[in-house]
Amino acid sequence: MRESLPVFVWFMNLVDAKSENGDPTGALQLLKDAVIKFSERTEFVYALARQHALLGEIEDAKLFVKRAIKRDASAKEQFLDDPAFDAVWDSF
């Protein structure tokens, strides 16, 4: 059974809040802890890529952003506009 949208939105807001408040490691840990619950969602995979990028884990960021884009091509536009991925861009 798919998790309800409000629960997912609340969870992603929590991840964003941790990251925005200078705790990308904590945000990444939240994502890792919830991988079984939300791994089917493109937004979740994209968030994993973003947290890895913020932590300077470029290869992991590339892996997850590629997965997100494969699932939903619209993630590419988000990737291109997100400054968190500047180091990923520089690595190509």
For 14-36, the pLDDT digits (tens) are 999 999 999 999 999 999 999 99
Percent share of the chain, pLDDT over 90: 87
- Number of separate domains in the chain: 1
CATH number at residue 81: 1.25.40.10
Domain containing 48 equals 5-90
Calculate the alpha carbon distances from 78 to 7, 12, 34, 55, 74 in Å: 22, 16, 22, 19, 7
